[in-house]
Amino acid sequence: MGKRLDIINSGGSYPVEIEHGLRFRTEEKIRQVCPDATSVFLIADENAASHYLNDVLSSFQQPPHVIFLQPGEGSKSIEELQRVLTELLEHGADRKSVVAALGGGVTGDLAGFAAAVLLRGVSFVQIPTTLLAHDSSVGGKTGINHPSGKNLIGAFYAPAAVLYDPAMLQTLPEGEWRSGFAEVIKHSLISRSGFLEWLSDNVNNPRDLQDEALEELLYRSIQVKASIVEEDEFEAGVRAYLNFGHTLGHAIEAEAGYGTWTHGEAVALGMLAAMHLSRFKLQADLPLENVKELLENHGFQTALPHSFDHQKLLERMKRDKKTEAGNLRFVLLRELGMPELIPVETELVKEALKEVTSDD
């Protein structure tokens, strides 16, 4: 049992290990990739820590210093970054210290950015505890939010290792399984690897998957991401495809107030809007109703509530990192599995917003 991928990047490569029970071997695994580490600092989401911190700590001979993070998107802030950096410095972090993130995407993004800027960079290890973090822990995007928009401050900073123990997902609330599954669906829609077919044949509810089947799901979804980030680590081209659904998704998250919508819920609606845009702009013949039904079957909201002001969403979208010279660019699908990054006229975006807005 257990699976491993090695992600090749500009720094060499790093392992992504997926194995039930891996949390009990955390120190050994960190030492394998950082043999001369002077100390380990664990940045831990409070909810994840309440279930798994003792297991992780039991793997250490010398217990690491633990910095707790309050659960929620609000922790991806400049204030929390400052607090974490201060605590790392006050507890003697040096250039050979290792920062390890125990939690979901929020913890990984914040801790990774702290590791990237602390003393101009210390080693970083991801210990993901959510389904969504199969996406966020791989590829080296780290960062925090700004009141203007999601992830507007950050750095590409690859982990030294990703230590994924899927047994830790068992305590995830329903909505967090759903949120993570949106990124699984995203990977399936942008890839021609047969993942979409595999998913519909093998996964009814990700929560019901037993040990090996869950490892297989994570492995296959990470494989899609890995092949893209290996080709384009710093998003000069094809990596933007991983942003399918995120132009509107990020705008929804920021406009609703960080944490009101989960990342995955917002991305799911963003994917539907991007598919409408693909119809308008590329005359793409996409199975939109099937994808909508798939999302509904997994409990996603597929209609944008009337409370969202379309003009405000548009203004948010214009601050997206893909925007160039004020022109919105979207990841569209020419057909399933064939994403492209395309400039889109504001009028078409308004039409797509109307298409996804709730009738009642």
Ligand X SMILES: O=C(O)C(=O)C[C@@H](O)[C@H](O)[C@H](O)COP(=O)(O)O
Residue ranges that bind ligand NAD, judged by CB under 6 A: 45, 47-48, 51, 71-73, 76, 103-107, 109, 129-130, 132-133, 135-136, 139, 141, 150-151, 168-169, 171-172, 176, 179, 183, 263
When CB distances are held under 5 to 8 angstroms depending on the partner's kind, the choice from ligand NAD, ligand X, none that residue 239 binds is: ligand X
Q: Are 328 and 320 in contact (CB under 8 A)?
A: yes
Asked if 329 is part of the footprint of ligand X (rule: CB under 6 A), the reply reads: no
Active site residue 141: yes
Catalytic residue among 243, 276, 292, 316: 243
CB 242 within 8 A of CB 221: no
Distance between CA atoms of residues 127 and 104, nearest Å:
8
Active site includes 263? yes
Active site residue 235: yes
Owner of token pair 């548009």 = 314
Residue 243 is a catalytic residue? yes
Q: Which of 239, 276, 279, 281 binds ligand X (CB under 6 A)?
A: 239
Q: Is 141 annotated as a binding residue?
A: yes
Smallest gap, in angstroms, from Cβ of residue 249 to ligand NAD?
9
Closest of 201, 25, 39, 171 to residue 104, by C-alpha: 171
Give whichever of 137 and 278 is closer to ligand NAD, judged by the CB atom.
Answer: 137
Query: Segment contacting ligand X (CB under 6 A): 2-10, 134-142, 157-165, 197-205?
Result: 134-142
**DSSP code for 334:** E
Residue nearer to ligand X on the CB measure, 52 or 261: 261
Site for ligand X, residues 165 to 184, rule: CB under 6 A: 183
Our finding on whether 141 is near ligand X (CB under 6 A) is yes
- Between 267 and 291, whose beta carbon lies closer to ligand X? 267
Tally of CA atoms within 13 A in the half-sphere of 116 that contains its CB: 19
Distance CA 288, CA 279 (A): 9
Torsion of CA 229, 234, 237, 242, to 10 degrees: 50
Q: Does residue 298 touch ligand X according to CB under 6 A?
A: no
Report how far apart the first and last C-alpha atoms of the chain are (Å, whole number): 49
Residue 129 labelled as part of a binding site: yes
C-alpha 218/C-alpha 39 separation (Å) is 30
- The three-state DSSP-derived secondary structure of 203-244 is CCCHHHCCHHHHHHHHHHHHHHHHHHHHHCCCCCCHHHHHHC
| Partner whose footprint covers residue 71, from ligand NAD, ligand X, none (CB < 5 to 8 Å by kind) | ligand NAD
Nearest to 274 by CA among 262, 264, 286: 286
Shortest gap between Cβ of 110 and ligand NAD (angstroms)?
A: 9
Catalytic residue check, 250: yes
Tell the residue number behind the tokens 């700590």, with chain if given. Answer: 57
Catalytic annotation present for 297: no
Catalytic residue among 183, 215, 233, 253: 183
Please report, to the nearest 10 degrees, the dihedral formed by the alpha carbons of residues 20, 23, 29, 34 taken in order: 140
109 has binding-site annotation: yes
104 is in an annotated binding site: no
Which CB, 172 or 284, lies closer to ligand NAD?
A: 172
Indicate which residue of 3, 23, 250, 316 is catalytic.
250
Alpha-carbon gap, residue 241 to 263, rounded angstroms: 17
Long-range contacts of 114-119 (CB under 8 A, 24+ apart): 114/43, 114/81, 114/84, 114/85, 114/88, 115/142, 115/157, 116/142, 116/155, 116/157, 117/85, 117/155, 118/85, 118/88, 118/89, 118/93, 119/93, 119/94, 119/95
Residue from 73, 80, 135, 215 touching ligand X (CB under 6 A): that is 135
Write the interaction track for ligand X spanning residues 45-84; mark x where CB under 6 A is met and - where it is not.
----------------------------------------
Alpha-carbon distance of 334 to 350, in angstroms, equals 20
Binding to ligand X (CB under 6 A): which residues in 148-167?
Answer: 150-151
Residue numbering of the annotated binding site for NAD(+):
105-109, 129-130, 141, 150
What residues form the annotated binding site? 105-109, 129-130, 141, 150, 183, 246, 263
Question: Which residues contribute to the site for ligand X (CB under 6 A)?
Answer: 135, 139, 141, 150-151, 183, 239, 242-243, 246, 321
